[in-house]
Amino acid sequence: MAGHSKWSQIKRAKGKTDVARGKIFTKLGREIAVAVKLGGTDPNANSRLRDAIAKAKAENMPNDNIARGIKKAAGELSSINYESMIYEGYGPGGVAIIVETLTDNKNRTAAEMRHIFDKYGGSMGVTGCVSYLFEEKGVLVIEKKKGIDEDAVMMDSLDAGAEDMINEEDVFEITTSSADFSKVRENLEKKGYKFISASIEKIPSTTAKTTDLVKFEKMLDLFDENDDVQNVYHNHE
Protein backbone atom coordinates (compact mmCIF):
# COMPACT_ATOMS: atom_id res chain seq x y z
CA MET A 1 0.00 0.00 0.00
CA ALA A 2 2.90 2.31 -0.76
CA GLY A 3 1.75 5.89 -0.71
CA HIS A 4 -1.92 4.88 -0.61
CA SER A 5 -4.37 6.58 1.71
CA LYS A 6 -8.07 6.13 1.12
CA TRP A 7 -8.66 8.66 3.89
CA SER A 8 -6.97 11.41 1.88
CA GLN A 9 -9.35 10.69 -1.00
CA ILE A 10 -12.34 10.71 1.34
CA LYS A 11 -11.31 14.08 2.80
CA ARG A 12 -10.98 15.49 -0.70
CA ALA A 13 -14.46 14.20 -1.60
CA LYS A 14 -15.93 15.65 1.61
CA GLY A 15 -14.98 19.09 0.36
CA LYS A 16 -17.16 18.74 -2.72
CA THR A 17 -20.33 20.74 -3.23
CA ASP A 18 -23.82 19.28 -2.98
CA VAL A 19 -23.92 19.21 -6.79
CA ALA A 20 -20.85 17.00 -6.81
CA ARG A 21 -22.43 14.78 -4.14
CA GLY A 22 -25.43 14.40 -6.45
CA LYS A 23 -23.09 13.24 -9.18
CA ILE A 24 -21.70 10.59 -6.82
CA PHE A 25 -25.22 9.25 -6.26
CA THR A 26 -25.76 9.18 -10.04
CA LYS A 27 -22.57 7.14 -10.49
CA LEU A 28 -23.57 4.78 -7.68
CA GLY A 29 -26.97 4.34 -9.29
CA ARG A 30 -25.27 3.36 -12.52
CA GLU A 31 -23.21 0.72 -10.69
CA ILE A 32 -26.38 -0.65 -9.09
CA ALA A 33 -28.12 -0.77 -12.49
CA VAL A 34 -25.28 -2.72 -14.09
CA ALA A 35 -25.18 -5.13 -11.13
CA VAL A 36 -28.92 -5.76 -11.47
CA LYS A 37 -28.62 -6.43 -15.18
CA LEU A 38 -25.76 -8.89 -14.64
CA GLY A 39 -27.15 -10.77 -11.66
CA GLY A 40 -30.75 -9.85 -10.85
CA THR A 41 -32.46 -7.82 -8.14
CA ASP A 42 -31.87 -10.10 -5.14
CA PRO A 43 -28.76 -8.99 -3.21
CA ASN A 44 -28.63 -12.37 -1.44
CA ALA A 45 -28.04 -14.07 -4.78
CA ASN A 46 -26.08 -11.25 -6.44
CA SER A 47 -22.75 -10.49 -4.76
CA ARG A 48 -22.00 -7.63 -7.15
CA LEU A 49 -25.26 -5.96 -6.15
CA ARG A 50 -24.50 -6.53 -2.46
CA ASP A 51 -21.16 -4.80 -2.89
CA ALA A 52 -22.73 -1.93 -4.87
CA ILE A 53 -25.35 -1.44 -2.14
CA ALA A 54 -22.66 -1.48 0.58
CA LYS A 55 -20.66 1.11 -1.34
CA ALA A 56 -23.77 3.28 -1.75
CA LYS A 57 -24.61 3.06 1.96
CA ALA A 58 -21.04 4.00 2.86
CA GLU A 59 -21.54 7.15 0.76
CA ASN A 60 -24.74 7.89 2.74
CA MET A 61 -27.01 7.24 -0.23
CA PRO A 62 -30.53 6.99 1.26
CA ASN A 63 -32.10 3.52 1.38
CA ASP A 64 -35.10 4.80 -0.59
CA ASN A 65 -32.78 5.90 -3.40
CA ILE A 66 -31.11 2.51 -3.43
CA ALA A 67 -34.44 0.66 -3.52
CA ARG A 68 -35.74 2.93 -6.31
CA GLY A 69 -32.52 2.38 -8.25
CA ILE A 70 -32.91 -1.40 -8.07
CA LYS A 71 -36.59 -1.24 -9.03
CA LYS A 72 -35.88 1.16 -11.89
CA ALA A 73 -33.04 -1.02 -13.18
CA ALA A 74 -35.27 -4.12 -13.06
CA GLY A 75 -37.83 -2.35 -15.25
CA GLU A 76 -35.26 -1.06 -17.73
CA LEU A 77 -33.06 -4.10 -18.27
CA SER A 78 -33.48 -4.02 -22.02
CA SER A 79 -32.38 -0.39 -22.20
CA ILE A 80 -29.34 -0.64 -19.90
CA ASN A 81 -26.36 -0.82 -22.23
CA TYR A 82 -23.52 0.52 -20.12
CA GLU A 83 -20.15 -0.94 -20.98
CA SER A 84 -17.14 -0.98 -18.69
CA MET A 85 -14.13 0.77 -20.21
CA ILE A 86 -10.77 1.44 -18.54
CA TYR A 87 -8.38 4.17 -19.63
CA GLU A 88 -4.75 4.39 -18.54
CA GLY A 89 -2.14 7.08 -18.85
CA TYR A 90 0.05 9.62 -17.15
CA GLY A 91 -0.63 12.91 -15.43
CA PRO A 92 1.78 15.85 -15.17
CA GLY A 93 5.19 14.69 -13.95
CA GLY A 94 4.58 11.07 -14.93
CA VAL A 95 2.02 10.17 -12.26
CA ALA A 96 0.27 6.94 -13.27
CA ILE A 97 -3.53 7.20 -13.61
CA ILE A 98 -6.27 4.62 -14.20
CA VAL A 99 -9.81 5.76 -15.00
CA GLU A 100 -12.72 3.30 -14.78
CA THR A 101 -15.87 4.23 -16.69
CA LEU A 102 -19.35 2.91 -17.42
CA THR A 103 -20.51 4.29 -20.75
CA ASP A 104 -23.25 3.95 -23.34
CA ASN A 105 -21.02 5.55 -26.00
CA LYS A 106 -17.40 4.35 -26.15
CA ASN A 107 -16.34 6.84 -28.82
CA ARG A 108 -17.60 9.82 -26.83
CA THR A 109 -16.04 8.65 -23.59
CA ALA A 110 -12.67 7.82 -25.17
CA ALA A 111 -12.51 11.28 -26.73
CA GLU A 112 -13.42 12.96 -23.44
CA MET A 113 -10.84 10.96 -21.47
CA ARG A 114 -8.11 11.78 -23.99
CA HIS A 115 -9.06 15.46 -23.83
CA ILE A 116 -8.74 15.53 -20.03
CA PHE A 117 -5.35 13.81 -20.10
CA ASP A 118 -4.08 16.24 -22.75
CA LYS A 119 -5.61 19.38 -21.21
CA TYR A 120 -3.46 19.23 -18.09
CA GLY A 121 -0.16 18.03 -19.50
CA GLY A 122 -0.74 14.31 -19.32
CA SER A 123 -1.06 11.62 -21.95
CA MET A 124 -3.45 8.72 -22.42
CA GLY A 125 -1.66 5.47 -23.14
CA VAL A 126 -2.53 1.97 -24.31
CA THR A 127 -4.21 -0.67 -22.18
CA GLY A 128 -1.74 -2.06 -19.66
CA CYS A 129 0.69 0.87 -19.77
CA VAL A 130 0.30 1.60 -16.04
CA SER A 131 -2.00 -1.11 -14.64
CA TYR A 132 1.01 -3.28 -13.77
CA LEU A 133 1.86 -0.65 -11.14
CA PHE A 134 -1.40 -1.37 -9.25
CA GLU A 135 -2.93 -4.29 -7.38
CA GLU A 136 -6.62 -4.83 -6.69
CA LYS A 137 -7.49 -4.84 -3.00
CA GLY A 138 -10.62 -4.49 -0.93
CA VAL A 139 -10.51 -1.36 1.26
CA LEU A 140 -12.86 -0.78 4.20
CA VAL A 141 -12.68 2.46 6.16
CA ILE A 142 -14.05 2.83 9.70
CA GLU A 143 -14.25 6.22 11.35
CA LYS A 144 -12.63 6.49 14.76
CA LYS A 145 -15.28 7.08 17.36
CA LYS A 146 -15.45 6.96 21.13
CA GLY A 147 -15.56 3.37 22.31
CA ILE A 148 -13.85 1.90 19.25
CA ASP A 149 -10.60 0.26 20.35
CA GLU A 150 -7.72 -0.10 17.87
CA ASP A 151 -6.68 -3.53 19.13
CA ALA A 152 -10.27 -4.78 18.92
CA VAL A 153 -10.63 -3.51 15.34
CA MET A 154 -7.35 -5.21 14.42
CA MET A 155 -8.38 -8.54 15.95
CA ASP A 156 -11.90 -8.42 14.50
CA SER A 157 -10.50 -7.53 11.06
CA LEU A 158 -8.00 -10.38 11.05
CA ASP A 159 -10.60 -12.82 12.38
CA ALA A 160 -12.90 -11.73 9.56
CA GLY A 161 -10.20 -12.60 7.00
CA ALA A 162 -8.60 -9.21 6.35
CA GLU A 163 -4.95 -8.91 5.34
CA ASP A 164 -4.10 -5.81 7.36
CA MET A 165 -5.43 -2.83 9.33
CA ILE A 166 -3.68 0.50 9.69
CA ASN A 167 -4.33 3.48 11.95
CA GLU A 168 -4.72 6.47 9.60
CA GLU A 169 -5.44 9.86 11.19
CA ASP A 170 -9.19 9.80 11.99
CA VAL A 171 -9.94 6.36 10.57
CA PHE A 172 -8.95 2.71 10.50
CA GLU A 173 -8.21 1.37 7.01
CA ILE A 174 -8.75 -2.36 6.56
CA THR A 175 -7.26 -4.12 3.55
CA THR A 176 -8.45 -7.41 2.06
CA SER A 177 -7.75 -9.44 -1.04
CA SER A 178 -10.26 -8.61 -3.77
CA ALA A 179 -11.62 -12.18 -3.56
CA ASP A 180 -12.27 -11.91 0.20
CA PHE A 181 -13.68 -8.35 0.18
CA SER A 182 -17.37 -9.29 0.39
CA LYS A 183 -16.78 -11.93 3.06
CA VAL A 184 -14.71 -9.61 5.26
CA ARG A 185 -17.17 -6.73 4.88
CA GLU A 186 -20.14 -8.93 5.77
CA ASN A 187 -18.32 -10.48 8.76
CA LEU A 188 -17.49 -7.04 10.13
CA GLU A 189 -21.02 -5.77 9.51
CA LYS A 190 -22.31 -8.66 11.63
CA LYS A 191 -20.07 -7.40 14.45
CA GLY A 192 -21.72 -3.99 14.21
CA TYR A 193 -19.08 -2.06 12.26
CA LYS A 194 -20.20 0.68 9.89
CA PHE A 195 -18.02 1.96 7.05
CA ILE A 196 -17.50 5.41 5.59
CA SER A 197 -16.05 3.71 2.51
CA ALA A 198 -16.29 0.13 1.26
CA SER A 199 -15.01 -0.78 -2.19
CA ILE A 200 -12.46 -2.69 -4.24
CA GLU A 201 -9.63 -0.32 -5.11
CA LYS A 202 -6.55 -0.35 -7.30
CA ILE A 203 -3.64 0.19 -4.92
CA PRO A 204 -0.29 1.47 -6.28
CA SER A 205 2.81 -0.60 -5.58
CA THR A 206 5.10 2.37 -6.22
CA THR A 207 4.57 6.13 -6.01
CA ALA A 208 5.52 9.20 -8.01
CA LYS A 209 5.35 12.92 -7.35
CA THR A 210 3.86 15.37 -9.82
CA THR A 211 5.80 18.42 -10.95
CA ASP A 212 2.58 20.48 -10.98
CA LEU A 213 0.13 19.72 -8.18
CA VAL A 214 -2.34 22.39 -9.33
CA LYS A 215 -2.66 20.87 -12.80
CA PHE A 216 -2.87 17.38 -11.34
CA GLU A 217 -5.72 18.29 -8.99
CA LYS A 218 -7.58 20.07 -11.79
CA MET A 219 -7.22 16.92 -13.89
CA LEU A 220 -8.68 14.81 -11.07
CA ASP A 221 -11.56 17.26 -10.67
CA LEU A 222 -12.38 17.07 -14.37
CA PHE A 223 -12.39 13.27 -14.27
CA ASP A 224 -14.67 13.35 -11.20
CA GLU A 225 -17.09 15.71 -12.94
CA ASN A 226 -17.50 13.43 -15.95
CA ASP A 227 -20.73 11.42 -15.73
CA ASP A 228 -19.16 8.31 -17.28
CA VAL A 229 -16.25 8.11 -14.82
CA GLN A 230 -16.83 5.75 -11.91
CA ASN A 231 -13.40 5.58 -10.27
CA VAL A 232 -10.00 7.24 -10.65
CA TYR A 233 -6.81 5.71 -9.25
CA HIS A 234 -3.31 7.19 -9.22
CA ASN A 235 0.06 6.66 -7.60
CA HIS A 236 0.75 10.22 -6.52
CA GLU A 237 2.36 10.05 -3.07
Residues 6+ apart with CB under 8 A from 137: 1, 163, 175, 176, 177, 178, 200, 201, 202, 203
Coil/strand/helix, residue 34: helix
Of 98, 101, 90, give the one whose Cα is nearest residue 210. 90
pLDDT computed for residue 16 by the predictor: 59
Residues 6+ apart with CB under 8 A from 78: none
Residues 199-227: tens digit of each pLDDT: 999 999 999 999 899 999 999 999 999 99
Instruction: For residue 54, give the amino acid letter.
Output: A
Q: What is the pLDDT of residue 79?
A: 77
Per-residue buried b or exposed e for 214-233, using 16+ beta carbons within 10 Å of the residue's own CB: ebbeebbebbbebebbbbbb
Q: What domains are defined for the chain? A: 9-79 (1.10.10.200), 134-204 (3.30.70.980)
Is residue 106 left, alpha or beta, with left meaning phi > 0 and alpha meaning psi from -120 to 50? alpha
The answer to whether 113 and 124 have CB atoms below 8 angstroms apart is: yes
d(C-alpha 220, C-alpha 14), whole Å: 15
CA–CA gap between residue 55 and residue 200 (Å, rounded): 9
Q: What is the mean pLDDT of the chain?
A: 91
pLDDT tens per residue across span 11-44? 666 655 555 677 889 999 999 999 999 999 999 9
pLDDT band at 3 (very low <50, low <70, confident <90, very high): very low
The 10s digit of each residue's pLDDT in 99-139 is 999 999 999 999 999 999 999 999 999 999 999 999 999 99
> How big is the CA angle at 37 (ends 31 and 38), to the nearest 5 degrees?
90
Dihedral (C-alpha) 66, 69, 75, 76: value to the nearest 10 degrees?
-150
